[in-house]
Amino acid sequence: NNYRLALEYQTKVMEKFSNSKKSSDVEHLMQLGKIYAALNEVEKSNKAFEQALALQKETLPPGHPDLSY
């Protein structure tokens, strides 16, 4: 399954950059959430999306357009 392979690669990327707190981390978390959603792993998907949002709130100024989605 291609999603399982994507999950493997995305997980490796996240492990490599786990403490950086950069905007690229948000993108990786969003991709991870999408992969889990495609695999019907709802809890893991929600967790990844929630982590992405928390990181955005931490790193972006209030009212930033990316915080609205």
Query: Among candidates 17, 49, 51, which has minimal Cα distance to 33?
Result: 49
pTM given for the model: 0.78
* Residue 36 and residue 48 in contact, taking contact as beta carbons nearer than 8 Å: yes
Inter-residue contact 55 to 45 (CB < 8 Å): no
Average pLDDT over residues 52-65: 88
Alpha helices in the chain (DSSP H): 2-16, 23-38, 42-59
What does the pLDDT read at residue 37? 95
Overall average pLDDT of the 60-69 stretch: 81
Tokens found for residue 13: 């990327």
